[in-house]
Amino acid sequence: MRSPRDFLKPLCVGAPDPITEVPFPPSRMIHFFDASNEKMRAKLPDIAAKADIVLGNLEDAVPVDRKVAAREGLVTVGKEIDLGGTQLWTRINALDSPWCIDDLTTLVGEIGDKLDVIMVPKVEGPWDIHYIDRLLAQLEAKAGVKKPILVHAILETAQGVAHVDEIAAASPRMQGMSFGPADLAASRRMKTTRVGGGHPGYLSMSDPTLDADGQIDASVARVTAQQDPWHYSIARMVDACTTNGCLPFYGPFGDIKDVAACEAQFRAAFLLGCVGAWSLHPVQIDIAKKVFSPPVDEVLFAKKVLEAIPDGKGVHMIDGKMQDDATWKQCKVMVDLATMLSEKDPELKAAYGF
């Protein structure tokens, strides 16, 4: 293990100093686009006006014969398109793929100063982050990049989940993690073809009704309720990220037309502590914006609590609810997020009354 004293020294002479705190600008959605697709690239200025983060995807979903075009398309985006204040990320090809090394050398060399975060798929343990960390430092030094490019891991293998805490702690570059239910399902041999969301087969059932002879009365219907197959892993990811000062995100929801289920999946992640989710299609940008902006009534209540208890101490009754030091902190989380989002979004600012 590296000495903590070395943690904030660059891993290559001439590379920028590592950051001490992960920046947290609006991050409600990471909008994926295929940079090899000229039509999608042309839409980017409009998309960037609505989205918090846009991400040029080079990995899964980009066909093998368009890998180079996607990389080059992203270089064009970085050099030629003004995204305003919207962050530019990429998802590189996996570390065990033949494209990864050229993704990194080309992108850092050509648009290293434009890229905020590099998302690394299929991270299995801290060793994957250590590899990327050193290589990025070398490439940053070579290209004269001024601020360190941050790293975001996708949690999408059983190994990755087993090592989630070590991954989150592996480098000061760790910006956060996204939950990847498709690859994770495959890695664990879960029997689902869905990308995120629930499953009608994953449920619990109420007890049976017994007849006079103590036998199960099959004529009486039993209540079932779908359970959340992702709860455990998302909660682990949230704890690992929060413990290490980086940001957890929910990943993709694949049934683009089922906007209600997408909203439910995003909201479950929001309530558990995620700061945002992926949008795969423009329709999911609005869903993420709605879900990951805290509800107006909760923000107004939280403001009321903070105003009523300026020192955040003791026990109080507000609107019939007990408030104390702990609930004050819950309210602070809500108000801090609302304040941060209001700086970007005048409509939210008005609704929250700032």
Using CB under 5 A, list all residues that contact Mg ion. Answer: 156, 180, 183
C-alpha 116/C-alpha 150 separation (Å) is: 6
C-beta of 255: minimal distance to ligand ACO in Å? Answer: 10
Nearest to 325 by CA among 348, 298, 305, 351: 305
- The site that binds ligand LL5AMS7Z (CB under 6 A) totals a number of residues, namely 9
Q: Is 325 annotated as a binding residue?
A: no
Q: Does 181 bind ligand LL5AMS7Z (CB under 6 A)?
A: yes
C-alpha 263/C-alpha 291 separation (Å) is: 7
Among 176, 180, 229, 294, binds ligand LL5AMS7Z (CB under 6 A): 180
Is the Cα dihedral 121, 126, 129, 135 positive or negative? negative
Q: Is 156 annotated as a binding residue?
A: yes
* Helix (H/G/I), strand (E/B), else coil: 217: coil
Nearest to 35 by CA among 10, 13, 62: 62
Among 52, 183, 262, 277, binds ligand LL5AMS7Z (CB under 6 A): 183
233 binds, among ligand LL5AMS7Z, ligand ACO, Mg ion, none (CB under 5 to 8 A by kind): none
Q: What is the 3-state secondary structure (H, E, C) of 235-290?
A: HHHHHHHHHCCCEEEECCCCCCCCHHHHHHHHHHHHHHCCCEEEECCHHHHHHHHH
Would you give the binding string for ligand LL5AMS7Z spanning residues 225-264, x where CB under 6 A is met? --------------------------xx------------
Is the Cα dihedral 17, 21, 23, 29 positive or negative? positive
Among 39, 146, 189, 191, binds ligand ACO (CB under 6 A): 39
Would you give the binding string for ligand ACO spanning residues 108-127, x where CB under 6 A is met? --------------------
Q: Which residues of the shown chain bind ligand ACO in the complex (CB under 6 A)? A: 32-34, 39-40, 43, 47, 57, 60-61, 182, 195, 252, 256, 280-282
